[in-house]
Structure 1
């Protein structure tokens, strides 16, 4: 009955409110102003003493029957306001921009206090109030006295940040220099002279960093060792390769050129080149070298498929392919071009025309022995001066005595068809000097091989029917 009367109470006296907020142990009852109209009918019928007085003070039990200490300890912003008869938030009262927050006007915790408090804690209004509170505390004008250890730590941190920024700027300059060198396809044997040259042109950041003008830079790293430069070049090559591959992937089609050869260590290599349209012009690019163990058509085709797949290039866009004229590459039944057509049925194959011309000359030499003698003569002259430093010095001295520029003999390679013409031209240009050098060698030490080579050079048949005839066709 008393609880029902308390629920309909409208005002609480100021004295009773103050006693509720200040007393450590709250009283078991509080006094409220009660009107006769608000008394339930059941209560009127059972208590006649309330009928005669329209304003009677009745005892009401305290609504805070549970202990809120655990909530106030867990949430340090929570407190109970006796003036507002409810729980409030300290931060929202001070810093909230709106007044519609229930924790500003005072509210009860309900049947699920934790759920309600957590909802307010994660709410936007409470987070904004908390941010303002932190901002006010951090922007305080109070000067905190720093210890010597704090000042040393702060100085060390500032120095470390400055070193990091300086190193980043220096490494950024190195990468830009290497990127320019690689993009221009310059050959670079040593990076340090190039770096010193660029630093001497005026960039203060590079020159100060390399010279170590500051005392703090006495032990600075210059990142110019071969290992570091190799790593930078590798990273730069990855960037340039990715840019190239992006252009190739966007091309509607491309032409693929490939050739197989072996290096000085007799390792088989398969070089891949592409031509594709880009920005209204045709671009030629070198994709890479494949190290192969076998050079048959099936192995080369498999290596080519794996290579293009690793680069992310569609093999079906290779509408044009070009190889040399050997059976492994150009075979109509089992050659590489035939196997390639299984992937691209409409591809056009063009074999190397220059390679065909070299094969024609090779077969022609079998029918004319004088051409074989010329080929043997050119190779013998080159070997004479190439593999003997002493004989090479004699040849250079003879050219110097004639007041001519020192030139080397050119090798007539069997696989380099244009080299035969250049070797013939060089022999005619230095024909007299070669004969004088051979005479000097014979005078010093009579050697039958050198004597036989000189007689071959003086042979009228070779000079008339081979070397001089070849020289009628100028070679650029």
Structure 2
């Protein structure tokens, strides 16, 4: 081997014959057609031996591990021509030959220069390896994008490997890759590394966009995951130069406690890791818990102490939910009736038998009505739908209780059925469920609207005012008369008692003031009119109290600077002075004053009536401008971005909780926090995951370890 320079594959040589076998010996010789099938074969004419040229060269240069060396094809030579074909195949599939090919790769027969041959062969093998790695990365991207688990209890049955095998049906080279004993790049550790590369790539883009857009708001919420660990969700809201709103999930953080100090440190640490400056924070949106909204030591107060322009707003979704809860708690008739509806939900949905009976009765009696909806006290937007399902299926439900009572033997269940049945026969229950539906359909509609991520806090306030106006319009005699007539019209169709006056009771003496005689309602209609108006007053006042937030007053000044100037109201200068003082160097006083005059003229030219101007109209007007025209109103754009950057609700965090339940199920409860974060980022940022440059991901993965560049090269 000392003088080995080129492969020797003689064709016209007279190959000597050897004897094989003892009882019936037969003569066999080397067959030159083997050169075509196995291009690596090297024949030694003097010794009548066959070698593997690729392995010989690799061994000479020390490129093969000793424990993998196949001596019969490298040093001693091979001459068992009887079993040659099977032995050649076995050597070609051996780890020794594969390693030599990885280092030197196949030899083109027409090439005789050893350096050129090995370089070309190695490049071919790298190209093959790159193709397999890209397939692996694409499979991982698909699974995490869909929120599907990669691994399984048995690794061979995992989604990841089964998906690779599915691709192998059309590309057998993948199946061959999976048969390798090492360097398959499919292990759990490799998966984690690939997930990290992809997730960090998305996070870097998100952080870059936030820094480029400047102002942002912080949105934080907390939940408990499947493994009973406290997870803090952090979302950043920012507005780009086109006035498009973005809400970006940037990570989960497992915390030992949810006290204000811990959560504040988590938020600040996340901003530091993303290289985002707190000085650009202009808003905070959390729920109303004391650890978040505490006036002295809450998270909002801690952040505001570091950046005074980071205004806190109580999430409108939570605020509206609390306002509705306050209304129900303060109205006894509504509280009792909704408790009955909740009890009905439990009786039906917690019993498959009763649920089946309900479906059968519904098909027979009211096939066109909507199904029965569960009343969930913690959901924001399902109360009205649940009450409506009770009204639409009133007769069906009454028949259900009669049927279930006869076939139920459990005393406790029978007593609960009797209680619900009795309640549904009373006029009070029908009255309150109908009234509750009329009120809650407005609040549920408002809640659904507030959850849109591109909705600002300012727009949320305006929509709330519109809903309150609609509720206030119901507080009229005409509205009550119409409601009362429709309710009495149902009494002929339903098994419900007529309205009656309660027994007159004299007030205890300790509560009496003066000597005037006690007053009592003279008719049933007057009694229920009082309850009708009381419920409407309660919901309007509760919503107003919850939405009257100090932080909104600053945004009101921001709005009024633009709206009043367009309407021609000179008092906008007072709002302008407040805004310039509060936001400081965010706005330039001289430029803003001159731009307001020009912008007012532009807005009025596009409006039929300047009194109807709104923030949404101004946003649309500016976003339709060309970038060059927008530069003329740079300070106006800044004003609009400061208005839009504050969210109406923290609904994106709530949606992230839903994604967390899909990703971290009870079967995946033991995954590490780092892997969970990477999976969540790739799953929640679906569009960014789809747009990932797989070649760039592959290059980052390969460059992370020195040995990988030798296997894959450059993508």
For normalisation by structure 2, the TM-score amounts to 0.40
Distance change >3 Å, CA 366–CA 209, structure 1 → 2: same
Alignment match, 1:40 = none
1:452 correspondence with 2:442: no
Identify the residue that residue 423 of structure 1 maps to in structure 2: 386
Does the CA-based 8 Å contact 1:258-1:270 persist in structure 2?
yes
Q: Deviations over 1:186-214 (max 9, x none)?
A: 443679889989998xx8x77223885xx
* 1:149 is the counterpart of 2:54: no
- Is 1:273 matched up with 2:240? no
Matched, 1:251 2:228: no
Counterpart among 386, 399, 405 of residue 436 in structure 1: 399
Q: Secondary structure at the match of 1:362?
A: helix
| One of 188, 192, 203 as aligned partner of 2:148 | 188
How far residue 464 of structure 1 moved from its aligned partner, in angstroms, is: 1.0
Instruction: Determine the C-alpha separation between the residues in 2 that align with 1:322 and 1:450.
Output: 44
- Assess, with a 3 A threshold, how the Cα gap between structure 1 residues 314 and 430 changes in structure 2: closer, same or farther: farther
What is the aligned length?
330
Contact residue 362 and residue 396 of structure 2 kept, 8 A: yes
SS of the equivalent of 1:374 reads helix
| Aligned counterparts, 1:130-145, within 5 A | none
Distance 1:408 1:422 in 2: 9
> CA distance change for structure 1 residues 465 and 407 in 2, over 3 Å: closer, same or farther?
closer
The reply to whether residue 410 of structure 1 matches residue 374 of structure 2 is yes
Matched, 1:377 2:337: no
Q: Residues 235-264 of structure 1: CA distance to partner in whole angstroms, max 9, x if unpaired? A: 433332232223223331211111234456
Q: 1:169 aligns with which of 113, 121, 131?
A: 131
Question: Which secondary structure does the structure 2 equivalent of 1:269 belong to?
Answer: strand
Structure in which a larger fraction of residues adopt helix? 2
Aligned mate of 2:254, from 260, 270, 291: 291
Change (3 A) 1:153 1:285: same
Partners of 1:436 and 1:150 lie apart in 2 by: 87
Corresponding residue number in structure 1 for 2:276: 313
Q: 366-375 or 382-391, which moves further after superposition? A: 382-391
- Give the structure-1-normalised TM-score: 0.57
CA contact (8 A) 2:338 2:433 kept: no
Q: Look up the match of 2:431.
A: 464
* CA separation of 1:181 and 1:189: change in aligned 2, threshold 3 A: closer
TM-superposed CA distance for 1:465, in Å, is 2.5
Deviation at 1:224, TM superposition (A): 8.2
Q: Cα RMSD between the aligned structures?
A: 4.1
Larger Rg: 1
User: Structure 1 residues 267, 152: closer, same or farther in 2, change over 3 A?
Assistant: closer
Residue in structure 1 matched with residue 85 of structure 2 by the alignment: none
The answer to whether residue 276 in structure 2 is matched with residue 346 in structure 1 is: no
CA contact (8 A) 1:290 1:307 kept: no
3-state DSSP class of the match of 2:262? helix
Q: 1:206 to 1:274 in 2, by over 3 A?
A: farther
Structure 1 pair 430–466 and aligned structure 2 pair: CA distance change class (3 A) = closer
Q: CA separation in 2, counterparts of 1:142 and 1:269?
A: 64
**Higher RCO (C-alpha under 8 Å, 6+ residues apart):** 2
**1:343: how far off?**
1.5
Shift of 1:285: 0.9
CA deviation after TM superposition for structure 1 residue 369, in Å:
0.8
CA 142–265 in structure 1, closer or farther in 2 if over 3 Å, else same? closer
Q: Find the aligned partners of 1:433 and 1:194 in 2 and give their Cα distance.
A: 49
What is the alpha-carbon distance in structure 2 between the residues aligned to residue 357 and residue 318 of structure 1? Answer: 25
Unaligned 5+ runs, structure 1:
1-137
Tell me the alpha carbon deviations over residues 103-148 of structure 1, each in whole angstroms, 9 at most, x when there is no partner. Answer: xxxxxxxxxxxxxxxxxxxxxxxxxxxxxxxxxxx9x999697552
Residues of 2 paired with 1:268 and 1:442: CA distance? Answer: 43
Distance 1:453 1:440 in 2: 13
Which runs of no fewer than 5 residues in structure 2 stay unpaired? 10-41, 45-49, 57-91, 106-121, 152-157, 446-715
1:395 matched residue in structure 2: 358
Is the CA contact 2:218–2:281 (under 8 Å) kept in the aligned structure 1? yes
After superposition, where does 1:10-29 map in structure 2 within 5 Å?
A: none
When structure 1 is superposed on structure 2, of 264-273 and 360-369 the one drifting more is: 264-273
Structure 1 residues 193 and 304, CA gap change in structure 2 (3 angstroms): closer
Contact 1:259–1:272 (CA under 8 A) maintained in structure 2: yes
